[in-house]
Structure formats: C-alpha cells, structure tokens
Amino acid sequence: RAPLRAILRLLPGVAGGTEAAPRRKSILRNARGNKEAPRMHASGRRHIKWAKVVVDTDDIAREERVEREALSERRKANNSHALTALTLGRVPCLCYEQLTIPIRVALPELVLRSPTAITLDVVVDIVELVHMTVTLRAKAGAPGGLTATAEAAAKHSWRSRVAFVALELAGILCLHIGRGAEYTSGVRELFIAAQALRLVRVVQLINYIREVNEDMTSDVKILAAFRFMLVLISVPHWVACGWQLVADRRDYALPTWISQYEIFTENPKYDPHTMTDWESYLMALHISWAGLTALGYGPLVIHRELEVLYAVFVSVLQIVFYAFVLGTLFHYIVRVDESTVHFQEVMKAVDKYVSDRALPTQLAARMRAHFEFQHRKQASGTKRIVSQMPLSLRSEVAVEQ
C-alpha cells in the first residue's frame, strides 16, 4: 500500500481528500545528468536516454529564493568591506582637516597659495565626496519592514546624514570659491568663513573614534595610542593658532606678546615685521607648550585684555590636558595588573612551601603547573562568562567543544 499511496499523493486532488496536491512540473532530463556527452548511434544520429522526473515547483521557487538571498548577502558583504576600507582611508583626511582648519584662520598665508596645500585640499574633498556617495547609497538600500520606533530612528538618522552632507557641500564650495576670490581680488573673508562649515569634519572624526571605541572587535591599545597622539598634537596646535589670533597683528605694536620676543632676546630675527609665517607659527607653538605644561611664559608679560582672557582659558585647558595625558600614561604604561601581582605572590608562596618541605622536583613542577593553569583560567574569564549563560546555551557550547 505504501507505493500506492506515494503514487496517489502525486495526483492532484487525490491525496488528503480535500486539499489539492502541490503543483508539480514534469521535466525531461538527461538520464546521465548532462555530465557526459551523448553517445552516437550507428546511423550517425545522437542516441540520448531521457528520463521523466517529477519536480515540485515550490522547491524550485525555494531554491531560487535562497540563491537570491545568498547573492544579496554577498553584495552586502562586499559593500561593507568597501565602506570599511574607505572609512579607514578617510581617517587621515579627517586628521589633516582638523589640523588645517585653525591654520587657515590664524595664518591663511601658509595655505592660500601653497601648491601642496591646494593639492591636499582637493584630494581630501574628493575622498569626502566619494564617502558621502557610498554612505547615502548604503542608507538608501537599507531593508524595510522595521518597527515604528526603528523607522523613526532611521528617519532621524537619515535627516542628520542629509544635514551633514549639505554642510559638507557648502564647506567645499566656500573653500574653493573663497580661494579663487583671494586670487582675483584679495578678499579672504569667504575663505576664512568656510572653516566654520568645515568644522563638521572634526565632529565626524570624534564620532568615528567613538564608534570604534564601542566596537567590541577593536584593539583597545591601538585606539588608545591613536587618541593619545591625536590629543598630544592637536591641542597645542589649536592653542598656538589661538595665540596668533589674539595677537595684535595690524602693526605689531607693544605690548602684544609677539612683539616682546625681539626686545627680550635682542635678536633682530624675531622682528614680527620680517618674520615668515612659519617662524611666527613656531613662536606661537612655543608659547602654547609653555602655557600647557605650566612652564610659564618666561620674560613675556601678558598686558592686552584679550590676551589675558586667552591665557586664563589656556590655564583651565591645562588642567584637562594634564589629566588626559597623565591618566593615559598611568593606565597603559605604569599601571600594574592586580591579578598578575597576586599570581606572583602565590607562586612565591608555592616555592617557599616546596623548599621548606623538600618536595621532589617532579611534584613541585606539577604544583606550579596547576597554579599556572588556574591563573590562566581566571584571567580568561571563563567562569564569569559561563555563569552568565543560560543552561541551554551552556549545553550547546559544551557539545561544540
């Protein structure tokens, strides 16, 4: 009866009595599965054996859906890898931008007509445009079917992204149009005003560092070293550009700080009227580090009201700068792991125990191996991780091991 029931299930409207059998499709296939070339008959005609195979159309549709989903996943993975590579290549551009913005405001002569600065600005803007295009395409191709809360969050994220893109485009246009205006008519106001729009890239650099910090797969030590070097270079650089802004550069008349160098050093090289912009920046960088490291400004006397207010701001910033630098150094260089110290104390106690009782060498080695294994087990956090897993998940992990 079993073969008869199997045949009846293939006939529509017979199996089950009330429900029609799934749609079937009769397909002629080569009995050899098209793996071998067809044999030739003695008369020269092709001799092919065909077999009639009954295939379920639902299975065919399921296979096609699985293939489409696999292809979509491969495309998403490729796009994700490309976006990650582009983001990593964008990080140096963002670092360059956050270092160049204060220079463009405080010492525009250094970057306005410099071929190197113009080339770097163009390259950075091209990378930013490519990243914006790829990001918008990825956001536009996000899957639907979200909940109301997730959809509202996606709309808010999309609006923020569009606002960032608008500010980026405005900053790019204002920068290059302002540079052209300075070439033709000597007007720098548009070029300097463009830096307020390009501050968006500083915000994006901070957001990127925060995202990498929240990623569990990131190397914490490499990220900490990058943040440490970025702060160690950027803060004195921005403070130096601020000292250039608060100086009275119209006629460099006393008592502005930049005019006091020539008086106290009696060196005509420090005459602010004949110094180059690069030498002026180095002087500002020196006074910046002097303020941030609490070394003092030496013989310089801060007289002008704007310079006094800026010196107060630098004093407050010095506290935060000290806390960050010293905290990072102590955390990653000076700080000692407490578990390692405890393990060393235990091993010293084991050695003393072995020597006091004159235990055999092999037994002492086994004791040391036991305590070393326990230390590695505790350091890996196996017990803490397993204790937080449900019983079903523990069982699956145990089976896989």
Would you list the DSSP string of 69-125?
A: HHHHHHHHHHHHHHHHHHHHHHHHHHHHHHHHHHHHHH-THHHHS-HHHHHHHHHHH
pLDDT in tens, 200-253: 999 989 988 888 877 767 777 788 888 899 999 999 999 999 999 988 777 777
Query: Residue 15: which pLDDT band, with cuts at 50, 70 and 90?
Result: very low
- Which is higher by pLDDT, 14 or 395? 395
What is the pLDDT averaged over residues 47-76?
A: 64
Over 90: is that where the pLDDT of 345 sits? no
Q: Which of 371, 322, 367 is nearest to 343 (CA)?
A: 371
Proportion of the chain above pLDDT 90, given as a percent: 22
Q: Which of 133, 18, 322, 167 is nearest to 175 (CA)?
A: 167
Peptide bond into 102 cis (omega under 30): no
Q: Residue 223's CB: how many other CB atoms inside 10 A?
A: 14
pTM for the predicted model, two decimal places:
0.66
Query: Residue 300: which pLDDT band, with cuts at 50, 70 and 90?
Result: confident
Measured CA to CA, the distance from residue 127 to residue 204 in angstroms comes to 14
Amino acid at position 25, single letter = K
Instruction: Classify residue 188 as exposed, middle or buried by CB count within 10 Å of its CB (0-12, 13-18, 19+).
Output: middle
Amino acid at position 363, single letter = L
